[in-house]
Amino acid sequence: MKLQVLDKAEISPLVEALMEDYRVVAPHAKGSKFTFETVTDPADLRLDYDTTILPPKKVLQPTKDRLATFTMGEIPQIEDVLEVTPTVVFGTHTCDLKGIQLLDEVFSRDFDDTKYTAQRKETFLISIECLSPCDENAFCKDMGTMTANEGFDLHLTELDDVYVVDAGTEAGEELLAKYGSAREATEAEKQELNQKLGAKWPKFNYKLNFEAAKLPAMLEASFNHPIWDDMGERCLACGSCTTVCPTCYCFNVADEVDMLLTQGTRERYWDSCQLEEFAAVAGGENFREGRAARQRHRLMRKGKYIYEKFDELGCVGCGRCVRTCVAKISIVESFNTIYNGRK
Amino acid sequence: MTKENTKVKVAFFDFASCEGCQLTIVDALQTHLSLLDVVEIVQFREAMTEKGEDYLIAFVEGSCNRKSDEERLFKIREQAALVVALGACAHTGGVNALKNIQPSLQETREYVYGDKADWYEVYPTRPISAVIDVDAFIPGCPIDRGEFVKVVKNVLLGKRPGIPDYPVCVECKLKENVCLLLEGKPCLGPISRAGCGAICPTYGDGCEGCRGIIPHPNENAMKDVLDEAGLTLNEIMARFTMYNAYQEDQIETAEKTI
Ligand code: SF4
Ligand code: SF4
Ligand code: SF4
Ligand code: SF4
Ligand code: SF4
């Protein structure tokens, strides 16, 4: 498809039109921060947001998600809950887009997670290019996520008067044709786009002192590094860093039954490797009892383990874990400390 | 389990407390009618006059503040197959335990009871687990009614009560609250037991740890973080001790001051 443009005034009508057939989830202001919420009024949409507290993965992997209902009588019956909500996520940044691509792999490569994939099939992603870093914690430039060529259905880039719209999939093209009133980009607009994309590059800083591709090998040699103890001393094990991470996907599953033991529900909810009980098993054993071991596990996941399993680094550089940590533990600083001190 | 004669007999008792937790139970009985399909209440001073002594589960609200109260607790323990500490006072000693960390118990007593101080028997506040064995606790000031229902259900099923061991921050983040600590406002969320749905931060107030502290908290890091948020040492200690002042080793020290 040729590059299209949407007048800025056309965003609200597009969202409004989409809302007829979809749940539209987009950034909204919450106090001094932003969160992805279901749009009820397109005027509340904040495409100028910096970052959100939780990433948009919550659309695909809800914080609490019903998997099944069951009855208990003589012959117990279990029924999957597979209803999905057709959804458009409007305004994801490219780091989060990459996060979703990684989750897609996680939930489908070895095992098809029916619940996730069902919702994923009915979810369309309209992303937006960041023309400057969301804040000083972003390190998307290091992680190669400060822009995107794929992973979106539609991708927006803001110019002075219009948004350039690039379609990444046929579904995206159809959405735009059906709900939007875009026109083809003029030569001048294409030039402005190139100028904006070029001008953005120097505004982003590298935060790692080394190439991210070196992470797996570097971490391989760092299992007994003293930094883990240092992090363990400072870490409160509050779990916030994993809760806010777009690539964390761990969950727990629990059944709830009614008082009379006649019926119940099975739900899955987000879990965190930073919590003490996470690696505890029957019999009282805990594989990662100390906070140091848990912090090491988190960073190993981001820089090594996920790469070994899915051929992609498990961190997209969104900076959320750094922003959220009340103990000021920074994955960037930790990686740099290991790099700077290596022999 | 639905038949009348298979209902589990339960009783409620109160010690030093505001009875808010029992009021929450009166509420729960109205919103979760099915509770009465599985339990029969034989004693509940707050809600009925009859007094049955053949209970299987005892819910105890309040902390123990008098030597003479111990006897009552022993009797409850003897009768009940399961003793459940109900609410912060019974669970951690609650706000009552603040008296344990005053310089002199005798002075505190005089401050409260004036010239009649000696009429009132008192000793350092104890959570009930310091007096008798406790099988389960339902934390909070006051307790959460949904959690009460859940614990009753789990206990009847022979399962663990299901009280979370993770901190309030988990629930707070899932609600996408703007973090108070990061805005320089005090909050004990990182070391306090979750289960309340982070209700205080959700309404803009820092957590005070009414549900007790999680197992193995990083207290030093918490102090550093509160210090960073601009709290003085006194303010930090006031936060820490609001609901969690009781410590076993204070008892001896406090007892010497009376
Ligand atoms: S980390 Fe980069 S891509 Fe992500 S929101 Fe910030 S600036 Fe945008
Ligand atoms: S957010 Fe910080 S304090 Fe909390 S678990 Fe993560 S590293 Fe530890
Ligand atoms: S590890 Fe931190 S910076 Fe990396 S993706 Fe997760 S939250 Fe973002
Ligand atoms: S407001 Fe309190 S409970 Fe919520 S995330 Fe911040 S420190 Fe944790
Ligand atoms: S947020 Fe803290 S003080 Fe408030 S109810 Fe929960 S545990 Fe208690």
Reported as a single tens digit per residue, the pLDDT across B156-187 is 888 889 899 999 999 999 999 999 999 999 99
- Rounded distance, CA B198 to CA B254, Å? 33
Average pLDDT value over all residues in chain A: 94
Q: Name the closest residue on chain A to residue B153, using Cα atoms.
A: A259
Measured in whole angstroms, the distance separating CA A79 from the mean position of its chain's CA atoms is: 29
A92 Cβ under 8 Å from any chain B Cβ: no
For A180-238, write each residue's pLDDT tens digit: 999 999 999 999 999 999 999 999 999 999 999 999 999 999 999 999 999 999 999 99
CB atoms within 10 A of CB B186: 20
The answer to whether A235 faces chain B, any CB pair under 8 Å, is yes
Here the tokens at position A122 are 């009915």
Where does A201-284 have alpha helices with state H?
Answer: 215-220, 227-234, 240-243
Chain-centre distance for alpha carbon A174: 25
> Among residues B149, B151, B2, B34, which one has the least CA distance to residue B82?
B151
| Residue ranges of B 106-165 with Cβ closer than 8 A to chain A | 149, 153, 157, 165
Most B CBs within 10 Å, among A35, A36, A259, A270, to test the B interface: A259
Show which of residues 286-305 on chain A sit within 8 Å of chain B, judged by CB atoms: 291
Instruction: Name the residue in chain A with its Cα closest to that of B176.
Output: A53
pLDDT, averaged across chain B: 91
> What is the structure's pLDDT at B252?
60
Residue A159 has a pLDDT of 97
What was the pLDDT predicted at B1? 44
Separation of A130 CA from ligand 1 center, angstroms?
6
pLDDT on residue B157: 85
Nearest CA-CA partner of A264 in A273, A272, A276, A255: A255
Planar angle of CA A307, A308, A311, nearest 5 degrees:
50
Best residue among B89, B169, B203, B210 to mutate for probing ligand 5, ranked by most atoms within 8 Å of CB: B210
| Mean pLDDT (whole number) for A101-128 | 95
CA of B243 to the centre of ligand 4 (A): 18
- Taking the C-alpha atoms of residue B65 and residue B90, their distance in angstroms, rounded to an integer, is 11
Q: What is the pLDDT of residue A73?
A: 82
Q: Does B172 contact ligand 4 (Cβ within 6 A)?
A: yes
The ranges assigned to domains in chain B are 4-156, 168-252
Question: Per-residue pLDDT tens for A70-94?
Answer: 998 888 899 999 999 999 999 999 9
Cα(B229) to ligand 1 centroid in Å equals: 27
Distance B220 CA to ligand 5 centre (A): 20
pLDDT of residue A94: 98
Taking the C-alpha atoms of residue A10 and residue A16, their distance in angstroms, rounded to an integer, is 10
Are the beta carbons of A236 and B225 separated by less than 8 Å?
yes
**Residues of chain A with pLDDT > 70: what percent?**
97
Write out the two tokens for A204.
Answer: 């982003």
- Min CA distance, B56 vs chain A (Å)? 18
pLDDT at residue B258, rounded to an integer: 57
Residue B50 has pLDDT above 90, yes or no: no
Beta strand segments in A159-313, E: 162-167, 183-184, 251-257, 263-270
Question: B173 vs A35: CB contact, 8 Å cut-off?
Answer: no
Whether chain B has a CB inside 8 Å of the CB on A279: the answer is: no
Across chain B, the runs of DSSP E, i.e. the strands, are: 8-14, 39-44, 57-61, 82-86, 136-138
A238 touches chain B (CB under 8 A): yes
Residue A314: the pLDDT is: 95
- pTM over the 0.90 mark: yes
- Taking the Cβ of residue A250 and every Cβ of chain B, the question of whether any pair is shorter than 8 Å is answered with no
A329 within ligand 2 shell (Cβ under 6 A):
yes
Residue A6 contacts B where some CB pair is shorter than 8 Å: no
Q: How confident is the model at residue A275 (pLDDT cuts 50, 70, 90)?
A: confident
CA of B198 to the centre of ligand 5 (A): 6
Of all residues in chain B, the one with the smallest CA distance to A269 is B174
Q: What is the ipTM of this complex?
A: 0.93
**Are the C-beta atoms of A134 and A52 separated by less than 8 Å?**
no
* Each residue's pLDDT tens digit, A307-340: 999 999 999 999 999 999 999 999 999 999 999 9
B31 shares contact with chain A (CB less than 8 Å): no
pLDDT given at position B255: 64
Asked if residue B102 has pLDDT above 80, the reply is: yes
Interface test with A, best of B10, B177, B182, B231 (most A CBs within 10 A): B182
Distance CA B135, CA B131 (A): 13
Cβ proximity of B127 and B73 under 8 Å: no
**Distance (Å, whole) CA B188 – CA B211:** 11
User: Residues near ligand 3 with C-beta < 6 Å?
Assistant: A 244-247, 302, 315-321, 331
Contact between B195 and B164 under an 8 Å Cβ cutoff? The reply is yes
Band (B48; pLDDT cuts 50, 70, 90): confident
Q: Does the pLDDT of residue A343 top 80, yes or no?
A: no
Note the pLDDT of residue B3.
47
**Ligand 5, atom 8: nearest CA belongs to which residue?**
B210
Cβ–Cβ under 8 Å, residues A60 and A87: no
Q: What is chain A's alpha carbon radius of gyration, rounded to the nearest angstrom?
A: 22
What is the reported pLDDT for A122? 97
Sign of CA dihedral A303, A307, A310, A312: positive
User: How far away is chain B from the Cα of A189, in angstroms, using its nearest Cα?
Assistant: 38
Q: Does A272 touch chain B (CB under 8 A)?
A: yes
How far apart are the C-alpha atoms of A77 and A263, rounded to whole Å? 9
What's the pLDDT score for residue B2? 45
Of A282 and A265, the structure prediction assigns the larger pLDDT to A265
Task: Give the nearest ligand 3 atom to A322 CA.
Answer: 2
Q: Measured between CB atoms, does B220 come within 8 Å of chain A?
A: yes
| CA dist., res. A282 & res. A170, Å (int) | 49
pLDDT of B207: 96
The pLDDT of residue A164 is 98
Where does the pLDDT of residue B120 fall: very low under 50, low under 70, confident under 90, or very high at 90 and above?
confident
B187 CA distance to ligand 5 middle (Å): 10
Residue A246 to residues A80, A117, A199, A250, B184, Cα–Cα distance (Å): 26, 17, 27, 11, 26
* SS3 call for A222: coil
Query: For a pocket test of ligand 5, which of B188, B200, B222 has the largest count of ligand atoms closer than 8 A to its C-beta?
Result: B200
CB contact under 8 A, A239 and B173: yes
Residue A278 has pLDDT above 90, yes or no: no
Nearest residue in chain B measured CA to CA from A272: B170
Query: Domain B4-156 belongs to what topology?
Result: Rossmann fold (3.40.50)
- Closest residue of A to B181, CA-based? A326
Closest Cα in chain A to B180: A326
Residue A163 pairs in a beta bridge with: A6, A158
Confidence of residue A281 (pLDDT cuts 50, 70, 90): low
Query: At B59, is the secondary structure helix, strand, or coil?
Result: strand
